[in-house]
Amino acid sequence: MKRCNIVRVLFSKVQAKVLETLGDRCAALWNAANFRCRRAFLKGEPVPSYATLCAEFQGHPAYKALPSDIAQEVLKKLRKAWNSFFALLRLWKEGKLEKRPGLPRYWKDRRTGKRLVKLIPVKSPRSYSLDARTLSLTLPKDLRDGNSRLVLHTKGILRFHGAPKTLELRYDRAKKRWYAHQVVEIPEPARKTRPEKYAALDLGARVLAALAIEGLNRQILFSGRKIWKDFLYWTKRIAEEQSRLNRAGRKTSRQLRRLYQVRARRLRHAFIALAAEVVRVLKRHRVTTLFLEDLTGIREDMDFGPKNLLVHNFWAFRMLRNLIEAACARAGIRVVPVEPRGTSSRCAVCGSPVKRLVRHRAVCERCGRVWHADANATVNILHLGSSKGHGAEATPQKPLALRWNRHRWVSRFESAAGTPKATSGSRMAARAA
């Protein structure tokens, strides 16, 4: 399987000019080849393939100004963009998309008309080398200053080690920084031969995830309350910046891009920690298979009114699902998707319909058991996936709720350092001693 290492690239003023020149030449080649593809598409002619683009632009000045591995990778990325456009166009013709997809864009600023320095792709490991501290790239002849390679210092950790593949240097316009994204291929983790043990995970908006494990009479809930408040804070900051730009007659700014970036990265940070905590619990209980509900299409053609910000903007369940699947793959845990229809409307013990008296509480009409709604749903998912039907207890216990403290997921009785909080009685006893 393939994984990606991301490190920050440190550079001097001279090296910054070299990177900017390389990025501008990549943008020039992209724009020239994209113009050729757009013209062929608008005329009704076949869009050139990757091999045709390489043959046609081999003598182009923008192609000659770059090392061959970088120029070929630019054309390959352009052809992949057109392949994605054609795939979306087919979905639109089949009625599966509301809006017609747009053509691949040029790398340029529409306001100024100048080319945008976005990324520098490198095709083969023979054209670069990346270790824990340095990154070296091959340079075209006119940019060489006594050395055929540009040596840059890096900051970060290479999390994955395997066969190196392609590398991309991406420019962050909001932070004015370069980042190196290296693709490595690592072997699939071997699944240990152990007795099958199942777990189920229910995804939600206010309770981000509810975990039920076979043989345990208590479920684990990951509350999204703190993350939602943080998301609202940064949304308010974004609205204030947009209001300021409207008064000035502008649409965007570097500060606005940074605010969007901060909001997205804080949300992703919490999701990554949630996925790591889920896998840590699964490994502790020696779980081999995780049943994960498939929520594809759950929000289509639905208007939730005032809750649209919560459901459509904040609830990034696809990102959370992908992070959980990737973490389980690294741990050797199999993930099986399960259809969640009806899991919240029936009792996990007797299968009778439940009443939702309040938002988070479900009461069975037949047996009278009181459930936390998300805990009830995740136990039902566990029943659907496992033919054994383990996981439900005759008397549901209060689930364990974990909250986000901006660093990790802890219970309400645990501090950020991981030690239990002292109660009032214990504090008085300590003073008396």
pLDDT of the residue at 424:
41
Confidence label for 351 from pLDDT (cuts 50, 70 and 90): low
pLDDT of the residue at 179:
96
Lowest mean pLDDT among 129-133, 256-260, 397-401: 397-401
Q: 212 and 178, same structural domain? A: no
Lowest mean pLDDT among 143-152, 300-309, 370-379: 300-309
More confident residue, 23 or 293: 23
Residue 385 has pLDDT above 80, yes or no: no
The closest alpha carbon to 220, from 246, 200, 242, belongs to: 200
pLDDT of the residue at 240:
95
| Alpha helical stretches, state H, 94-220 | none
CA distance 260 to 238: 7
Coil/strand/helix, residue 139? coil
pTM reported for the whole predicted model: 0.80
Is the residue at 8 inside a domain? Answer: yes
Q: 153 and 9, same structural domain? A: yes
CA distance 348 to 212: 12
CA distance 10 to 319: 29
Q: 295 and 163, same structural domain? A: no
Q: 246 and 126, same structural domain? A: no
Residue 43 has pLDDT above 80, yes or no: yes
CA distance 60 to 70: 14
Q: What is the arithmetic mean of pLDDT over 291-310? A: 76
Q: 219 and 178, same structural domain? A: no
Is the residue at 417 inside a domain? Answer: no
Q: 289 and 384, same structural domain? A: yes
Residue 333 has pLDDT above 70, yes or no: yes
Is the residue at 327 inside a domain? Answer: yes
**Amino acid in position 163:** A
pLDDT of the residue at 399:
84
Q: How many domains does the chain have?
A: 2
Phi, psi (degrees; rounded to nearest 5) at 246: -65, -40
CA distance 133 to 285: 38
Question: Which tens digits make up the pLDDT trace of 180-236?
Answer: 999 999 888 777 777 888 999 989 888 899 999 988 888 899 998 999 999 999 999
pLDDT of the residue at 170:
95
Confidence label for 415 from pLDDT (cuts 50, 70 and 90): low
> Which one-letter DSSP state was computed for residue 103?
P
Lowest mean pLDDT among 87-91, 178-182, 271-275, 333-337: 333-337
Q: 308 and 178, same structural domain? A: no
pLDDT of the residue at 195:
83
Q: What is the arithmetic mean of pLDDT over 128-144? A: 90
More confident residue, 5 or 340: 5
Q: Which two tokens stand for residue 220?
A: 């684990």
Q: 204 and 287, same structural domain? A: yes
Q: 264 and 141, same structural domain? A: no
CA distance 292 to 209: 10
Count the neighbouring beta carbons within 10 Å of the beta carbon of residue 365.
12
Q: For a pLDDT cut of 90, what percent of the chain falls above it? A: 53
CA distance 80 to 86: 10
Q: 162 and 48, same structural domain? A: yes
Residue 57 has pLDDT above 90, yes or no: yes
Q: 356 and 212, same structural domain? A: yes
Residue 167 has pLDDT above 80, yes or no: yes
More confident residue, 65 or 310: 65
Region class of 150: left (phi > 0), else alpha (psi between -120 and 50), else beta: beta
**Which string of DSSP letters, residue by residue, matches 164-194?**
EEEEEEEEETTTTEEEEEEEEE-PPPPPP--
CA distance 272 to 267: 9
Question: In the predicted model, what is the mean pLDDT of the chain?
Answer: 85
**H or E stretch at 301:** none
Residue 290 has pLDDT above 90, yes or no: yes
Is the residue at 193 inside a domain? Answer: no
Lowest mean pLDDT among 28-42, 297-311, 355-369, 373-387: 355-369
Is the residue at 354 inside a domain? Answer: yes
Residue 419 has pLDDT above 70, yes or no: no
More confident residue, 193 or 400: 400
Confidence label for 431 from pLDDT (cuts 50, 70 and 90): very low
Q: Which of 179-193, 231-245, 378-392 has the highest mean pLDDT?
A: 231-245
Q: 110 and 218, same structural domain? A: no
Cβ neighbours of residue 223 closer than 8 Å, sequence gap 6 or more: 206, 207, 208, 401, 402, 403, 404
Lowest mean pLDDT among 200-214, 270-284, 404-418: 404-418
pLDDT of the residue at 377:
80
What range defines the domain where residue 153 resides?
A: 2-185
Is the residue at 190 inside a domain? Answer: no
Helix, strand, coil share of the chain (percent; to 5): 40, 25, 35
Token pair 């939702």 is found at: 356
Q: What is the arithmetic mean of pLDDT over 272-300? A: 88
Is the residue at 162 inside a domain? Answer: yes
Question: Which tens digits make up the pLDDT trace of 78-117?
Answer: 999 999 999 999 999 998 888 899 999 999 988 888 899 9
Is the residue at 426 inside a domain? Answer: no
pLDDT of the residue at 282:
93
**Amino acid in position 110:** R
